[in-house]
Amino acid sequence: MQPKKVLVVDDSKLIHKMFEVMLRSYALVHAMDGREGLERLHEHPDIDLILLDINMPSMNGFEFLEEVKRSEAFTEVPVIIVSTEGKDQDTVRGLQAGAAAYIKKPFRNEEILKLIERLPPMASD
Ligand SMILES: [Mg+2]
């Protein structure tokens, strides 16, 4: 299954612009921190992929991910962490918290595109 609607949660405006260019064939929904990400998710329950930063004000990526995985409605939505936090323990923590994949910034466009194309289908499909 190809995701169609993608939620980008990142406090960098540049990253949002990059994804706009990179993911032209997808509908993007934008949030600047975890708290806003949860709001957008509830406004758009048909989101089928989340691209998530870790370092953000007000609610960071790990906290956001825990909320998403705890919720019944969104627990199946795949989350790809896209972060400069390249430390191994962060990768482990992200994957243990339920992330589908972890990509380090700076990333190559093809890296993310390939990952998105290879995501396993969600249970609801
Ligand atoms: Mg950040």
pLDDT the model gives residue 2: 60
Distance CA 53, CA 33 (A): 8
Give residue 59 CA to ligand 1 midpoint distance, Å: 11
Distance CA 20, CA 39 (A): 20
Q: Residue 66 belongs to a domain with what CATH number?
A: 3.40.50.2300
Distance CA 10, CA 38 (A): 12
pLDDT (tens digit per residue) in 41-81: 999 999 999 999 999 999 999 999 999 999 999 999 999 99
Domain of 82, in residue numbers: 5-117
Q: What is the tally of structural domains in the chain?
A: 1
Give residue 124 CA to ligand 1 midpoint distance, Å: 31
